Structure formats: structure tokens, C-alpha cells
Amino acid sequence: MHQSTDPYVRVRGAREHNLRGVDVDIPRDALTVFTGVSGSGKSSLAFGTLYAEAQRRYFESVAPYARRLIHQIGAPKVDSVTGLPPAVSLEQRRSTPGSRSSVGTVTLLSNSLRMLYSRAGAYPPGAERLDSDAFSPNTAAGACPSCHGIGRIHRTDEQLLVPDPDLSIRQGAIAAWPGAWQGKNLRDILEALGHDVDAPWRELPARDREWILFTEEQPVVTVHPVREAERIQRPYQGTYMSAHRYVMRTFADSKSASLRARAEKFLTDSPCPVCEGRRLRPEALAVTFAGRTIAELAAVPLTELDGVLASAPPGGEAARVLAEDLRARIAPVTELGLGYLSLDRTAPSLSAGELQRLRLATQLKSGLFGVVYVLDEPSAGLHPADTEALLTVLDRLKAAGNTVFVVEHDLDVVRHADWLVDVGPLAGEHGGRVLHSGPPAGLADVAESATARHLFASLESPERPRPVREARGAVRLSGVDRHNLRGVTAEFPLGVFTAVTGVSGSGKSTLVGQALAGEVAGRLAEPGFPVRRLVEVDQKPIGRTPRSNLATYTGLFDVVRRLFTASDEARARGWKAGRFSFNVPGGRCETCQGEGFVSVELLFLPSTYAPCPQCAGARYNAETLQVRYEGLTIAEVLSLTVEAAAVFFAQVPAAARSLRALEDIGLGYLRLGQPATELSGGEAQRIKLATELQRLRRDHTLYLLDEPTTGLHPADVRVLLRQLHGLVEAGHSVVVVEHDMDVVAGADWVIDLGPGGGAEGGRVVASGTPSEVARTPGSRTAGYLARALG
Ligand code: ADP
Ligand code: ADP
Ligand code: ZN
Ligand code: ZN
């Protein structure tokens, strides 16, 4: 697509965020890895500058109408970029697919499978051939008419609607009814209809109970209200509505989230009886391929689907071509270690890493060439065995004539790069320079690079050797049946650091995040149970809008607002804390309602945020910004980094404590007002951990963490590990799901799941000390762990 003969992408004067006028030349048609400690500026260069610029040019070329909007979003702060092809981003951060999307829709494999059923399926005698749309639950042509393609329906039943049948209707037997006046009205109507509202519910005739709860009739009667207190009411016409009808209507139509939530309590959700959860019309479900319906094939792991297609009896030429095409599209997905997924698995139940790899696999088959792919830590969630497959796939993208930019921390990926751009040396204002741009070997001479220290000198981990910790009791799980775990027994020792390992899809999250968390949560109150508190520190965003940020999440912002409210200037104006909130009218900028950003909708593209034209991102109105605390406005305080704020608030104990906790965990480079939407999963997790560390308690606490090293440079991993081991030293228990073998090698206990993913996993393959697990035959982790143990 690009005509340039210069084989380099040349960046001049990049100043996005902390970048200090960076000049860098990067070869096209190569795999380039961007490295550096957290906050050094890797993403500002790879995403903020290169990707943003490529995307801006692409929009300008394809969508002239969008030019004004693009202008609003702003161009990256850079003097010039030359030689840059258009970009395809596969970053993890801003990608949230809708709840109706699935593995099949994300990879477009569903389209191919539908085509196969439409053209090459076995139809019942006399049936008309169906269009491929008729095999999609997301179209009117295909959706089961009873559940509208959802596969599940909501129902009520008597036990839910009337939880206590000893009560009379007057006493409130029908719990599902609305409260207050409306409920009383329904009761009066029933009385007017001749029902006994004073007898216990149990004693009413079954036919009446059925009618009262479930009738679809809506009789209108004249109600003569009983005189209540002083008020005299006139007779009126009342319309009856059964409890069932009321609940269903409220659940489906109410604008009030709390009313909908209340209605949901009286509903059970069960598979649709018409399609049995298969979401399709009967005509579509009557068509088979290799003896199976499309719903059946969508529910099996992709590896199995591939096997079915491979061994399908020879049909016509059409069947052969379509089946081959499907298999060719499935191949990169299984190659990236995702063969355990089924097409009908919903997108929201996938991890960010799984989603990014699915998109990557889809791109591989798209046949695009001459573009630049920008990836954000594609190794996240990958066992070392899976990472090897990832490298093969990246090589193929490159071989097809593309430029591949990857922000990565995994040293195996870093070593594999053709070209390395190392940013640093430290975070924020102490970073933002390119320390090395060239083949990885050249980094060895760069003394100030933290990456060089880890890439070349294999540092002895400071956590080892240390005395092996003795467990103090254990939590035992047995008969765990969930997802791919079948009758699993596992023992989690307490008072130690435990790592749970296994290839992607082996069942780690299910075992730790669901089975262990569920068991412990259920037993916390039990006398004699050794664990008193359970803390899950996950990677879910700390908020979904730019309104939540680091300061609001940690409670620091309350302290800051109190300081501003107490200032002489605010007191003289009579301002209360609300004046300094950006969530309520008063002090905030009304153009953006305190968000600092306005949402920009681009047709066909995900909506994106642009700085507010009124306050330029300050969030407050000009009057509010006249008040200063120790010389800074509240907007200026929000733009301080944690590190700078720790100095600024050194004399304010309530603020200093949480700032120190954030610094200690390596987040000193984040700004206080940094919107939650800009934080990576790993940063969100560390913010949660820091918040937790500052309120450290004595009660024996079990901490569960899901791949806490995600997004961390090996130097940052050190810092994090010191904190986690500190928790164990303080008498608590830590369980991490982890792929970083250096972390696993430093654990007291390892539980290895597998051997494979999905149906090929779900068993405890090994458990013991790291060196015991490293010697266990049949464990895919063993070899990698042995290498890390040195
Ligand atoms: P890395 O990718 O190396 O972790 P980033 O490029 O994300 O680092 O961040 C580099 C610096 O820029 C950090 O100090 C960070 O706080 C700052 N920064 C990141 N995003 C923004 C933003 N949207 N606005 C202002 N500063 C930002
Ligand atoms: P890991 O954490 O080791 O990557 P998971 O525990 O996430 O593995 O997944 C184990 C198995 O359970 C996989 O086959 C996966 O597809 C399945 N699974 C996980 N979550 C769900 C879910 N929400 N619905 C259905 N299957 C799931
Ligand atoms: Zn249905
Ligand atoms: Zn504004």
C-alpha cells in the first residue's frame, strides 16, 4: 500500500505525554518490540504516536466526512512521521465487545459455518434450502421466536412470588407485588373481585392462587377503598395485573434499574423450552452436517470442530471447499493456543489476552499486507509453551509483508525481535528517551537500560535463596466440577506463597477465581476456619468511564477536596466540598459535565474521547480554578503524578499514606486524575493492591491474584514480588495464577494444571515445591520451571 522506497519508518520530535522529542528510525517489514519499565513511554511511542498517526491518516483517506472529528481528537504531538503504513491495532485496552458477540462472531468463523450449513448441510426431505442468515440467532430469520435467539427465558414460579405462604395477601404474601400505594391497590381489587385477602395464602384454593399469580386477564372492577386513617377516598375503577405479568413487564420495560433488579429477584432463568437453549428456529435445527446441528458444532471446542470437518464424508465440491476454508481459518486460532474455545463462547467471558489473540488469528487469514500491526503485550495470559506458538504467528504476519510493532515484557518475545526500541531509563519524567533502537544484541552495551540488565545478565532473584516457608494449615477443595474441571481435588497451603500454573485454558482461573474463592467466601464466618478475610485482586477496570480515576478510587480525592474546602479562599466564598467535585453541578465545567473529555462518535468506528473544548480537560469552571491550595488549583493537583504528589502532600498524613503505597508498588508515574479508561488491566490490579496494602489488617487474609505480572517489566516484577512476599511475611496467604517462571520459581508451593487446555486439561498434574514440580514428568510447566530454577 505504501510507495516509499525508504525502508524505515522515521519519527522526528515525538513529544506525546512524557516523550522528550524522540527521534527514532524503525524498519518496516520487521518485528519490532518496544520495551521499558512501566511508565517509561513505550505506549506513548507505539500507540500514542505511531498507531495514532497511522490511524489518523487512514481515517483521512477513507472518511473525509470524519475530518472535523479527527481534528477534534487531535493529532499526536510529533514533528513528523514518514514511511508509515496504515495501521491495524490489536491492543487490549479499549476493546469491549458487545454481550451478543462470541468467539464465532469475533473470528467471523460463524459466517463460514453458516455458509457450510446453508450450502452443504443435509436437509430433511422436502425442506427448502435456507439462506445462511437463517442459521444465525442474531437475525430475525434465524432466531428462535420464543426466546428471540437468547436461548434462555425468564420465568416466575409460585415459590418465588410468594416466599412465605403462611402470610395472607393483606400481610404481604405476594412479595413480588410493588410496594406502597400500588400494592395496596392490587389487594383492594382482589378483595373487590371476591377473594379472601385475610386467609393465609396456603389455604386459598389452588385455582385462585394460580389465577392471582399468573392470569393474563386484566379485569377492571369498581373498588370501594376502605377508609384509611383520616383520608376519605372515592370509589375508582381499578385494573388488575397478575404478579407474573407485573414482574415480566417491569423486567422487560422499566426504565428504572433498581425496579428491574427487584423484578429479577422473582425470576429464574432457564433454557428456552422451544429451542432447548440452541437459540435457532426449528427449521434451522433440522439441518445437519456430519450428523450434527449447527448448534452442536458451535458448542464443541475448535479442535474437535476441526476434526469433524476433516473426517466429514465427502459431499459435493461446494462442501469440500467450504470445509477446507473453515479449517484454514480455525488453524491459526488453535495454533495460538485457543483450540479449547467453542464458537458459542460469549465474548464477555473471555480474557483480554484471549480476545486479542482471537483477533490476531482472524487477521492472519484476512490476507492484508503492507499494513502495520500494533499489539499490546500479546503474551499476556500465555504459558511459555503458548508463547512459542505466538512467535510463529508473528513471524508469519511479518513474512506476509507487514510491519509488526509489539509492546512486550516477556523476555522470550524480546529476544525474538528483529529490532528493539528500548525506552527509559525510568518512568514518567525520568523516562521518555529512546535508549536503544536496533537489533537486540546492541542493547547489551547500554548501561542505563533496565531491560539490558534483565536480558543479558541473568540476575539472581533477590527473593532466593530464602528459607522455605512452612505451611500453617490448608484449604482443601474436593469434587470441583466446573467448566473443564471434573471432580478435582486440590489443597492450597496457608501462610505461604502459592503459584498456580498451566497452559491457557487448563482451568487455573476456574480453580482459583471460582472454586477456591467460592469455598473460602462461604466459610469465612465458620468458627475455627483459619482464613478471616478474602481479597481478590483482579484486572477488571477500576471504573468504566473517565469519571473514575486513581484519586477517586483510592479515596485520595476526598482528602484533596477537604483541603481545598478548608482553604481561606474557599471559606471566604462559602464553598463546600461539593464545589470541588466534578460529578455534581456547581464547580465543574458544564460543557463536559466534569469529564474533561467529550465523546466523539465516528460512524462505523468505536466512539472515542476528545478533550473538552471549554475547559481543555481541566474539568472545572474558571471560578473554581481561582482557588489554590499551596499554590496549585484542583485541576493542577489532579495532573500531578503520584511521585510528585507524595512530595506535595508530604505534610498531610491521610494523603501521604496512600501515595506511598502507590509508589511502593511501582505506580509513581501515574497521574492522580488519570481516567480509569486509560489504565491497563495490570495497572488497575496494582492500584487495587496498593489500596489494599494501605489498609493492611492483622486478620489472616487470603489474597488471590490473576497474573499480577501482566504489563510489568522484569524490573517492576521485582518490586511487586517484594510486596507480595511481604504480605506472606506478615502472616497472610497469597495465591497467584502466573506464567512468569521467575515468579513461580520463587513461590513456596506450586499447583500445576493441565496437561492441555479445555477438555485436555482440568486436572492437577503436579503439586509441590517448585523443584518438585520441575521434576514431574507429564507437566508442560516442568521444563520451563527447571530452567528458571537454574
Ligand atoms: P509505558 O507504556 O511505558 O508503561 P506510557 O507511555 O503509558 O508508559 O506512559 C508514559 C508516561 O506518560 C507516564 O508518565 C504516564 O503517566 C504518562 N501518560 C500516559 N497516558 C497519558 C495521558 N493520556 N495523558 C497524560 N499523560 C499520560
Ligand atoms: P485458564 O485460567 O487456565 O486459562 P480457565 O479456567 O479460564 O483456564 O478455563 C478453563 C476451561 O473452562 C476452558 O475450557 C474454558 O473455555 C472454560 N471456561 C472458562 N470460563 C468459561 C465460561 N464463562 N463459560 C464456559 N466455559 C468457560
Ligand atoms: Zn428459544
Ligand atoms: Zn469541560
9 contacts: CB under 8 Å, gap ≥ 6:
25, 26, 27, 28, 50, 81, 82, 83, 84, 372, 403
What per-residue confidence (pLDDT) applies to 692? 86
Lowest mean pLDDT among 36-45, 158-167, 222-231, 310-319: 222-231
Point out the ligand 2 atom lying closest to the alpha carbon of residue 762: 10
What per-residue confidence (pLDDT) applies to 89? 64
Please give the distance, rounded to the nearest whole angstrom, from the Cα atom of residue 187 to the centre of ligand 3: 35
Point out the ligand 2 atom lying closest to the alpha carbon of residue 504: 4
With contact defined as beta carbons under 8 Å apart, do 600 and 73 qualify? yes
Nearest C-alpha to atom 23 of ligand 2 is from which residue? 349
DSSP conformational letter for 375:
E
With contact defined as beta carbons under 8 Å apart, do 375 and 406 qualify? yes
Q: How confident is the model at residue 698 (pLDDT cuts 50, 70, 90)?
A: confident
Point out the ligand 1 atom lying closest to the alpha carbon of residue 37: 3
Nearest C-alpha to atom 25 of ligand 2 is from which residue? 483
Query: In angstroms, rounded to a whole number, what is the distance separating the alpha carbons of residues 739 and 752?
Result: 11
What per-residue confidence (pLDDT) applies to 385? 87
Candidate from 15, 16, 18, 407 with most ligand 1 atoms within 8 A of CB, to mutate: 18
Q: Which ligand is nearest to the CA of 148?
A: 3
pLDDT digits (tens, 9 = 90+) for 165-190: 999 999 989 998 887 678 888 999 99
Please give the distance, rounded to the nearest whole angstrom, from the Cα atom of residue 241 to the centre of ligand 1: 57
Taking CB atoms and a 6 Å cutoff, what residues make up the pocket around ligand 2? Answer: 340-341, 345, 349, 483-484, 502, 504-510, 758
Q: Which ligand is nearest to the CA of 150?
A: 3
Q: Which ligand is nearest to the CA of 35?
A: 1
Q: Which ligand is nearest to the CA of 280?
A: 3
For 177, the grid coordinates are 407485588
Query: In angstroms, rounded to a whole number, what is the distance separating the alpha carbons of residues 429 and 19?
Result: 8
Query: In angstroms, rounded to a whole number, what is the distance separating the alpha carbons of residues 179 and 258?
Result: 13
Length, in residues, of the chain: 790
Nearest C-alpha to atom 2 of ligand 1 is from which residue? 43
Q: Which ligand is nearest to the CA of 757?
A: 2
Please give the distance, rounded to the nearest whole angstrom, from the Cα atom of residue 482 to the centre of ligand 2: 9
For 523, the grid coordinates are 466459610
DSSP conformational letter for 84:
P
Q: Which ligand is nearest to the CA of 625?
A: 4
Query: In angstroms, rounded to a whole number, what is the distance separating the alpha carbons of residues 362 and 373?
Result: 13
For 112, the grid coordinates are 463460514
DSSP conformational letter for 470:
P
For 532, the grid coordinates are 478471616
Lowest mean pLDDT among 92-101, 489-498, 665-674: 92-101
Give yes or no for residue 571 having a pLDDT over 90.
yes
Higher pLDDT, 101 or 242: 242
Query: In angstroms, rounded to a whole number, what is the distance separating the alpha carbons of residues 380 and 93?
Result: 12
* Radius of gyration of the chain from its Cα atoms, rounded to whole angstroms: 30
With contact defined as beta carbons under 8 Å apart, do 635 and 4 qualify? no
Candidate from 483, 508, 763 with most ligand 2 atoms within 8 A of CB, to mutate: 483
Taking CB atoms and a 6 Å cutoff, what residues make up the pocket around ligand 1? Answer: 17-18, 36, 38-44, 427-428, 669-671, 678
With contact defined as beta carbons under 8 Å apart, do 288 and 124 qualify? no
Query: In angstroms, rounded to a whole number, what is the distance separating the alpha carbons of residues 420 and 406?
Result: 10
pTM reported for the whole predicted model = 0.80
The vertex-728 CA angle with 727 and 732, nearest 5°, equals 80
Give yes or no for residue 671 having a pLDDT over 60.
yes
Mean pLDDT of 200-206: 95
Nearest C-alpha to atom 16 of ligand 1 is from which residue? 670
CA quadruple 646, 648, 654, 658: dihedral, nearest 10:
-20
Lowest mean pLDDT among 138-147, 456-465, 511-520, 683-692: 456-465
What per-residue confidence (pLDDT) applies to 336? 87
Query: In angstroms, rounded to a whole number, what is the distance separating the alpha carbons of residues 225 and 247?
Result: 25
Helix ranges (DSSP H) in 510-633: 517-523, 550-554, 556-565, 568-573
Candidate from 34, 35, 43 with most ligand 1 atoms within 8 A of CB, to mutate: 43
Point out the ligand 2 atom lying closest to the alpha carbon of residue 354: 4
Please give the distance, rounded to the nearest whole angstrom, from the Cα atom of residue 276 to the centre of ligand 3: 6
Nearest C-alpha to atom 6 of ligand 2 is from which residue? 507
What per-residue confidence (pLDDT) applies to 97? 56
What per-residue confidence (pLDDT) applies to 599? 72
Please give the distance, rounded to the nearest whole angstrom, from the Cα atom of residue 600 to the centre of ligand 4: 14
Give yes or no for residue 460 having a pLDDT over 60.
no
Query: In angstroms, rounded to a whole number, what is the distance separating the alpha carbons of residues 432 and 20?
Result: 5
CA 564 to chain centre: 35
Nearest C-alpha to atom 27 of ligand 2 is from which residue? 483
For 182, the grid coordinates are 400500588
Please give the distance, rounded to the nearest whole angstrom, from the Cα atom of residue 63 to the centre of ligand 4: 27
Please give the distance, rounded to the nearest whole angstrom, from the Cα atom of residue 161 to the centre of ligand 3: 24
Question: What burial letters (b/e) apply to 688-703, b meaning 16+ CB within 10 Å?
Answer: bbbbbbbeeeeebbbb
Query: In angstroms, rounded to a whole number, what is the distance separating the alpha carbons of residues 286 and 292?
Result: 9
For 534, the grid coordinates are 478474602
Q: Which ligand is nearest to the CA of 304?
A: 2
- Tell me the Ramachandran region of residue 277: left when phi exceeds 0, alpha when psi lies from -120 to 50, beta otherwise: left
Query: In angstroms, rounded to a whole number, what is the distance separating the alpha carbons of residues 208 and 200?
Result: 13
Candidate from 44, 51, 426, 674 with most ligand 1 atoms within 8 A of CB, to mutate: 44
Please give the distance, rounded to the nearest whole angstrom, from the Cα atom of residue 625 to the centre of ligand 4: 12
Question: What burial letters (b/e) apply to 316-344, b meaning 16+ CB within 10 Å?
Answer: eeebeebbeebbebbbbbbbbbbbbbbbb
Q: How confident is the model at residue 439 (pLDDT cuts 50, 70, 90)?
A: very high
Nearest C-alpha to atom 25 of ligand 1 is from which residue? 17
pLDDT digits (tens, 9 = 90+) for 530-543: 999 999 998 777 87
How high is the ipTM of this complex? 0.93
SS (H, E, C) 504-538: CCCCHHHHHHHHHHHHHHHHCCCCCCCCCEEEEEC
With both helix axes pointing from N to C terminus, report the angle between 653-664 and 681-694 in degrees, rounded to the nearest 10. 130
Query: In angstroms, rounded to a whole number, what is the distance separating the alpha carbons of residues 391 and 461?
Result: 26
Please give the distance, rounded to the nearest whole angstrom, from the Cα atom of residue 582 to the centre of ligand 4: 10
Name beta bridge partners: 374. 89, 405
pLDDT digits (tens, 9 = 90+) for 108-130: 999 999 999 999 999 999 999 99
Point out the ligand 1 atom lying closest to the alpha carbon of residue 407: 2
Please give the distance, rounded to the nearest whole angstrom, from the Cα atom of residue 272 to the centre of ligand 3: 4
Nearest C-alpha to atom 5 of ligand 1 is from which residue? 41
With both helix axes pointing from N to C terminus, report the angle between 384-399 and 317-335 in degrees, rounded to the nearest 10. 120
Give yes or no for residue 302 having a pLDDT over 80.
yes
Please give the distance, rounded to the nearest whole angstrom, from the Cα atom of residue 513 to the centre of ligand 2: 11
Nearest C-alpha to atom 26 of ligand 2 is from which residue? 483
pLDDT digits (tens, 9 = 90+) for 544-566: 777 889 999 998 999 999 999 99
